[in-house]
Amino acid sequence: MNMDLIINFSYVVSAILFVFGLKMLSSPATARKGNMLSAVGMLLAIVVTLLYAGLDYKWIALGVAIGSVVGVVAAYRVQMTSMPEMVALFNGFGGLASLLLAWAEYHQTGELSTFIAVVTMLTVFIGGVTFSGSMIAFAKLAELISSKAVIFKGQHIVNGAILLGALAAAIAFVMAPASSYPVFIFMAVVALLFGITSVIPIGGADMPVVISLLNSYSGLAACAAGFVVNNNILIVAGALVGASGIILTKIMCKAMNRSLGNVLFSGFGSVIQAKGSGPQGEVRPATAEDVYYILEAADSVAFVPGYGLAVAQAQHVVQELGELLEQNGTEVVYAIHPVAGRMPGHMNVLLAEANVPYDQLVEMDEINPRMDSVDVCVVIGANDVVNPAALDDESSPIYGMPIIETHRAKTVIVLKRSMNPGFAGIQNALFFNDNTRMYFGDAKASIQALVAEFKSGN
Amino acid sequence: MEAIYLTFVFMLSIFLGFELISKVPSTLHTPLMSGSNAISGITLIGALESVKHGHESVAVILGVLAVALATVNVVGGYAVTDRMLAMFKKKA
């Protein structure tokens, strides 16, 4: 009894450490310490749990050893560009762990109270959906399968039928848990199936929303498992993660101007706009030398990077150019749209990796109000997130989406390979504006040319 | 009553989560996600308790699998988050 008290009191301390850890994530200056604090909380919870009587340590050691090796290797080998894949995989592992835990409990006890039976079904369902959904999201992100939206006829009917099946199974299970082992297995299978059929119709461009949502599910699965094993710390930590995922999902949806229902059920990205429509006009191309003179004379420059920057592996040369500009007395910032990159905040990590200091990373809502005073915006590998049609063209498919309003800057330089429209296939009026200069070519080579100009100019 | 009490804890934690997370700047959303991966590895605590002497071997195998998967989340999640956050430096 006394031991029980110590263990549970330690869980309270762990919960406090998790909360403070998350609180310290509110600034890049304290974030790393916050992560440490959170890890200490986890370590404490693990160590005190091992004090429970009757644990089979050799099996536990085996599980922990395998998990630690896989975790460490994955954490230190993953490329920053592949973070979305890793988070998707980890979401899936979390979901599966919760499912297996509920299964182990059920297998051992058999007879469950009505409440425990209900939360067991919930754990199995959420855990199963999280696991298979995450595996599909991972396969799409890693391009192991087509990242396009896979749509088939009667999709909603199939999904509806699966959900009804799950509900029926849950009711049958709760009525008589002890004699319902096959129903339990059926529920697990149905959940895995639903994870697949609900994620497969979602296109690659919407994956940031999906992994945020699955992130939330993995927390909720842990939470539900906490109800099964009657453990507060699982509930608290799981709920924190669940809330985090929901907030990120909301932010992503808002930044793409879509409702969650629209992302989940409509298969956007499968519809490509008719090309050749939209604004036309004359573009003003610029050479490296032209761009050099514009940048050289600027007092403030805002780089607006899109994922194309990372694809071209240009983040390091951009950072070099930024540094040269600063030496030249120019104020440099990087304005980052919430959906730049392949997951929330991805672009920031890629730039931080290239040694861009975090005080130069500014959010869309921070740069837009002072855009009129920016001398030069350099748009690299971004298109739709700077398309003014989102503000003024009601017929545009991206109308209403918040954008970085680069067209309001004094001069805009757009780096682009060619005049092909962007990901959503929408032509961009920004390219034809009077204050826009197009700087054609490969992003990395183009920036390198500017760096060379600066070095020879100084 | 146990159910009600746990639900209370759940509800308050969700609200606390919303308050905390809405203060995280979008600059740090990727580390937030990998960090919450690590926290969702909390299932490990439940999984450890399920690997007991005298349990049926199937239950033990399921428990060990859960331990291994949750450990990947905990160890990998915290490690990769630390690696990322170490890259965020202030202007020298």
| Assembly ipTM | 0.96
What the block records as the tokens of A54 is: 């009757």
Residues A341 and A259 in one domain: no
pLDDT, tens digit, for every residue of A321-373?
999 999 989 999 999 998 888 889 999 999 999 999 999 999 999 999 999 99
Nearest to B75 among A72, A91, A243 (CB): A72
Cβ–Cβ under 8 Å, residues A237 and B70: no
**pLDDT, average across residues B1-9:** 89
* Contact flag B76-A101 (C-beta cutoff 8 Å): no
Output the pLDDT for position A270: 44
Burial class (CB in 10 A: 0-12, 13-18, 19+), A47: exposed
Residues A143 and A223 in one domain: yes
**pLDDT, average across residues A430-446:** 88
Band (pLDDT 50/70/90 cuts) for residue A274 is: very low
| Residues of A annotated as catalytic (active site), given as ranges | 384
Report how many domains make up chain A: 2
Residues A248 and A345 in one domain: no
Q: Which residues of A252-287 are buried (b: 16+ CB within 10 A; e: fewer)?
A: bbebbbbeeeebbebbbbeeeeeeeebbeeeeeebe
Residues A355 and A252 in one domain: no
Q: What is the CATH number of the domain that holds A344?
A: 3.40.50.1220
Residues of chain B found within 8 Å of residue A223, distances taken between Cβ atoms = 10
B89 contact partners, CB below 8 Å, separation of at least 6: A352, A355, A357, A358
Q: Residue A275: is its pLDDT beyond 50?
A: no
HSE, side-chain direction, 13 A CA sphere, residue A86: 31
Q: Residue A9: is its pLDDT beyond 50?
A: yes
Output the pLDDT for position A351: 94
Band (pLDDT 50/70/90 cuts) for residue A458 is: low
Residues A316 and A381 in one domain: yes
What pairs with residue A334 in β-bridges? A303, A361
* Contact flag B28-A245 (C-beta cutoff 8 Å): no
Residues A361 and A305 in one domain: yes
Task: Provide the domain limits for residue A373.
Answer: 288-457
Residues of chain A found within 8 Å of residue B60, distances taken between Cβ atoms = 56, 59, 104
Q: Residue A425: is its pLDDT beyond 90?
A: no
- Evaluate whether residue A175 is within a structural domain: yes
- Rounded to whole angstroms, the Cα distance separating A425 from A376 reads 26
A71 contact partners, CB below 8 Å, separation of at least 6: B71, B72, B73, B74, B75, B76, B77, B79
This prediction has a pTM of: 0.91
Band (pLDDT 50/70/90 cuts) for residue B60 is: very high
Residues A258 and A339 in one domain: no
Residues A235 and A329 in one domain: no
Output the pLDDT for position B7: 93
Nearest to B14 among A83, A87, A242 (CB): A242
- Evaluate whether residue A326 is within a structural domain: yes
Quickly tell me which residue has 């699955």 as its tokens. Answer: A214
Cα–Cα separations (whole angstroms), residue A73 to A70, A86, A312, B47: 5, 12, 26, 22
- Evaluate whether residue A40 is within a structural domain: no
Output the pLDDT for position A118: 95
- Evaluate whether residue A320 is within a structural domain: yes
A199 contact partners, CB below 8 Å, separation of at least 6: A132, A133, A136, A137, A140, A210
Residues A258 and A173 in one domain: yes
Question: Percent of chain A at pLDDT above 90?
Answer: 63
Residues of chain B found within 8 Å of residue A226, distances taken between Cβ atoms = 6, 42, 46
Nearest to A349 among B30, B60, B90 (CB): B30
- Evaluate whether residue A5 is within a structural domain: no
Residues A260 and A292 in one domain: no
Q: Domain limits of chain B?
A: 2-85
Q: What is the DSSP letter of B52?
A: B
